[in-house]
Structure formats: structure tokens, C-alpha cells
Amino acid sequence: MKFIIPDSFEIAGRTYEVKYVKKCTDCSDDVTGQVRYGAGVVELVKNIEDCDDATNVVFFHELVHSILFAMRENPRHDEKFVSRFAELLYQAIKTMEKEENNG
């Protein structure tokens, strides 16, 4: 299934807008994405050299952060957990197949 990054999404009543930026707000240059919970914004740094996969993985990473935020779980958001979860979730979605006449 080809995944297309949405313009916005909602989690637990909070709407997040996805914005492409040259640099994430108040971050160092090497940061490729962040969630601004208060503003309801997911910032993604999109370079022309980036393949879709790279940007999609960053999107999923920020999505997992926003889910954990809504769940009030794991308040410090273990980055290793977030990255691995995001990669595997994206892999599952990317490889999903559905035949027209199957159920």
C-alpha cells in the first residue's frame, strides 16, 4: 500500500497539521522532524534528496510521539522505542495488500 503523508490527522480530539519546514522550530540543524503538541503541528524537514521512505519514517516517528503524548504513557518518550515502533508500523502499512474480491 502506497502511503501518502496526510495534511492533517487527529488523535484523541487533538488535530495535528503537517507542515514542511526548512528547519524545525527551536531545533538544531540535524533534527528532521518534531511535534509541537501545544500548537498541534508536526514539522517535517523535506530535502529534495530525501526519498519518500525517509520522510515517511520521520512522519511515523512523529506520529508515534503524538500517540504516546495522547496516551500519557512513557512521558519521556524513549527515542529508541519511538524510532523502532515507527519503523515497524510503517513497514507493516507499506506492505499491506488487499485483493479486490477477498472479503
Binding site for Zn ion (CB under 5 A): 79, 82
What is the smallest separation between the CB atom of 65 and Zn ion, expressed in angstroms?
6
Q: Which amino acid, residue 36?
A: R
Give whichever of 42 and 82 is closer to Zn ion, judged by the CB atom: 82
What is the smallest separation between the CB atom of 3 and Zn ion, expressed in angstroms?
19
Give whichever of 1 and 54 is closer to Zn ion, judged by the CB atom: 54
Which three cell numbers mark 93? Answer: 502499512
Give whichever of 53 and 79 is closer to Zn ion, judged by the CB atom: 79
What is the smallest separation between the CB atom of 43 and Zn ion, expressed in angstroms?
12
What angle in degrees, to the nearest 10, is found between the helix axes of 79-94 and 52-71?
120
Cα dihedral 31→12→18→37 (10° resolution): -40
What is the smallest separation between the CB atom of 38 and Zn ion, expressed in angstroms?
17
Give whichever of 73 and 100 is closer to Zn ion, judged by the CB atom: 73
86: exposed, middle or buried (Cβ count in 10 Å: 0-12, 13-18, 19+): buried
